[in-house]
Amino acid sequence: MSDINLIFDVAVMFIIRIGIPLLLLVVLGTIIDRWQRKLHAEAEQEKQRQAS
């Protein structure tokens, strides 16, 4: 029974130490990417308006 608890503890610690920070980095990257795309699209629209 202690072997199962040890395996479970290692899995939980892995998720806490690796999984959650990795997930947060992916979410942060996605948010930054969407923000950058929005800014780029607005800049392109402004450039087209000035060219017209």
Confidence at residue 12, expressed as pLDDT on a 0 to 100 scale: 95
Sheet strands (E) in the chain: none
How close are the terminal C-alpha atoms of the chain, in Å?
75
DSSP-derived 3-state class of residue 1:
coil
| Prediction pTM value | 0.71
- Structural domain boundaries in the chain: 23-52
Q: What is the pLDDT of residues 8-43, one digit of tens each?
A: 999 999 999 999 999 999 999 999 999 999 999 999
51 pLDDT band (50/70/90 cuts)? Answer: confident
Confidence at residue 52, expressed as pLDDT on a 0 to 100 scale: 76
